[in-house]
């Protein structure tokens, strides 16, 4: 399974660490909300709402460097339009990886930032 | 050029604001997380030239928004789904569309396309990389967060290329600017500045010492490439 990386964010920021932190903070706030909306939509069996949530989450999946999972999200989004949810387990697994990554961000990624700041 | 952002996703708005701040001819008036608020704003104010519009929004979406406008400003669609492209170009107001996540180079192209194709007075608008030095040669103006900041040229001691950006180090402060080393090199006087490596331009007057293949300039140790070493040595007043 793929792991998140900061390649896109660093390219976007041009090594502006403050901006990278700002963007990641926004993702840390927005991602869990979108995940809850997605899970609620699944519970309600509302395919249109689920498709909309997957679309929003897909953007963050891409920002966090998941190339294959982005394709998976794309396929899932299309399938949901036809009221098919067979890709749900794989997509949920990607969301879980991102959740863990963002929850452990302070521990795992902050030292990386400190090293860059002190360089 | 006055612009608006309409996107329900905060992450997308943060990225767009960043790109807008890198182009000094774009002025962000407002940002909205839904299309209805955008319409209200447009009805009250007639000063918007360009809208960055997300298609995927709950309820009243981006395409509903486009259809509802009579005298529409120019629109650049932002979307995570290319299937909207064909439908989008049925509308004259839509000049381009950007696939998320949006990279700066693609963003700048879309804005340039808007300027050139739609507004006569902007037809000669310079690209960020094409802006040439004016008659005032003592200063350099850089665009940071929509402010043009003046830097005295002789206060710059080092410029380093960092991906799509350059890091300008001065006596007082350091700046990160979206540009290339080639562009700033063209604006710096040859009499003081010299490229000594593919990633570094230095102010020759600020050199502290040179040892082997590196220069100490302030607290920075900068590598000298073999091809640039001869020119550096020629420029020094060697005893």
3-state secondary structure of A1: coil
Q: How far apart are CA A86 and CA A4, in angstroms?
A: 24
Q: What pLDDT, on the 0 to 100 scale, is given for residue B132?
A: 43
Asked if the C-beta of A59 comes within 8 angstroms of chain B's C-beta atoms, the answer is yes
Rounded Cα distance, B114 and A39, in Å = 39
Q: Check: pTM over 0.90? Answer yes or no.
A: no
Query: Could you tell me how many residues make up chain A?
Result: 119
Q: CA-to-CA distance for B42 and B66, rounded, in angstroms?
A: 12
Nearest CA in chain B to A24: B11
Determine the pLDDT at residue A112: 64
Flag whether pLDDT at A12 surpasses 70: yes
Contacts of A11 (CB under 8 A, 6+ apart): B103, B163, B164
Q: Please give the pLDDT value at position A113.
A: 60
Determine the Cα–Cα distance for residues B93 and B235; give it in Å rounded to an integer.
55
Q: What is the rounded CA–CA span in Å between residue A10 and residue B73?
A: 33
The closest CB to that of B163, out of A11, A58, A60, belongs to: A11
Segment A99-106 long-range contacts (CB within 8 Å, at least 24 positions apart): A99/A31, A99/A32, A99/A35, A101/A3, A101/A4, A101/A64, A102/A27, A102/A28, A102/A31, A102/A32, A105/A24, A105/A28
* pLDDT value at residue B134: 40
The complex's ipTM works out to: 0.89
Enumerate residue ranges in chain B where pLDDT < 70: 82-89, 117-137
Q: What is the pLDDT of residue B121?
A: 47
The H or E element that residue B32 is part of is strand B27-32
> Is A23 within 8 Å of chain B by CB?
yes
User: Please, how many CA atoms are within 13 Å of residue B200, restricted to the half-sphere of its CB?
Assistant: 21
Element of type H or E holding A117: helix A110-118
Q: Where are the alpha helices (DSSP H) in chain B?
A: 10-21, 35-44, 62-68, 85-88, 104-118, 181-187, 226-235
Residue A19, Ramachandran bin (φ over 0: left; ψ between -120 and 50: alpha; else beta): alpha
Residue ranges of chain B whose CB lies within 8 Å of a chain A CB: 9-12, 14-15, 18, 56, 58, 80-81, 100-101, 103-104, 162-165, 167, 176, 178
Q: Are B28 and B5 in contact (CB under 8 A)?
A: yes
- CA–CA distance, A73 with A79 (Å, rounded to integer): 10
**Is A103's pLDDT higher than 90?**
no
Q: DSSP letter string over A3-65?
A: ----HHHHHHHTS-HHHHHHHHHHHHHHHHHHHHHHHHHHHTT-HHHHHHHHHHHHHHHHHTT
Secondary structure letter of residue B161 according to DSSP: E
Point out the residue among B11, B58, B163 whose CB comes nearest to the CB of A27. B11
For residue B135, the model assigns a pLDDT of 37
On whether the CB atoms of residues B224 and B196 are closer than 8 A, the answer is yes
pLDDT category of residue A116 using cuts at 50, 70 and 90: low
Q: pLDDT band for position A17 (50/70/90)?
A: confident
């Amino acid at each position: 399974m793929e792991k998140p990386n900061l390649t896109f964010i660093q390219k976007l920021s041009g090594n502006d660490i403050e901006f990278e932190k700002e963007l990641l903070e926004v993702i840390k706030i927005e991602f869990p909300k979108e995940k809850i909306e997605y899970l609620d939509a699944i519970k309600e069996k509302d395919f249109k709402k689920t498709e909309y949530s997957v679309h929003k989450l897909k953007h963050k999946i891409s920002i966090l460097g998941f190339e294959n999972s982005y394709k998976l999200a794309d396929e899932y989004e299309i399938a949901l339009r036809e009221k098919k949810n067979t890709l749900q387990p794989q997509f949920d697994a990607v969301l879980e990886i991102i959740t863990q990554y963002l929850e452990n961000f302070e521990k795992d990624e902050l030292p990386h930032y400190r090293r860059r700041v002190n360089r | 050029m006055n612009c608006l952002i309409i996107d329900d996703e905060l992450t997308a708005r943060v990225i767009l604001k960043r790109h807008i701040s890198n182009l000094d001819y774009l002025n962000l008036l407002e940002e909205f997380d839904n299309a209805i608020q955008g319409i209200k704003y447009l009805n009250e104010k007639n000063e918007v030239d360009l809208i960055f519009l997300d298609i995927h929004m709950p309820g009243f979406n981006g395409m509903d928004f486009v259809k509802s406008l009579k005298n529409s400003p120019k629109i650049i669609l932002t979307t995570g789904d290319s299937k909207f492209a064909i439908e989008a170009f049925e509308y004259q107001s839509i000049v381009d569309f950007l696939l998320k996540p949006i990279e700066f180079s693609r963003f700048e192209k879309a804005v340039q396309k808007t300027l050139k194709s739609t507004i006569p007075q902007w037809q000669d608008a310079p690209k960020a990389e094409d802006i040439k030095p004016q008659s005032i040669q003592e200063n350099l103006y850089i665009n940071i967060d929509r402010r043009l900041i003046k830097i005295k040229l002789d206060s710059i001691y080092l410029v380093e290329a960092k991906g799509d950006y350059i890091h300008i180090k001065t006596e007082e402060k350091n700046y990160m600017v979206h540009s290339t080393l080639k562009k700033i090199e063209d604006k710096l006087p040859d009499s003081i500045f010299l490229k000594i490596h593919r990633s570094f331009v230095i102010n020759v007057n600020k050199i502290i010492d040179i040892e082997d293949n590196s220069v100490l300039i302030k607290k920075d140790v900068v590598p000298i490439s073999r091809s640039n070493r001869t020119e550096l040595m020629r420029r020094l007043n060697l005893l």
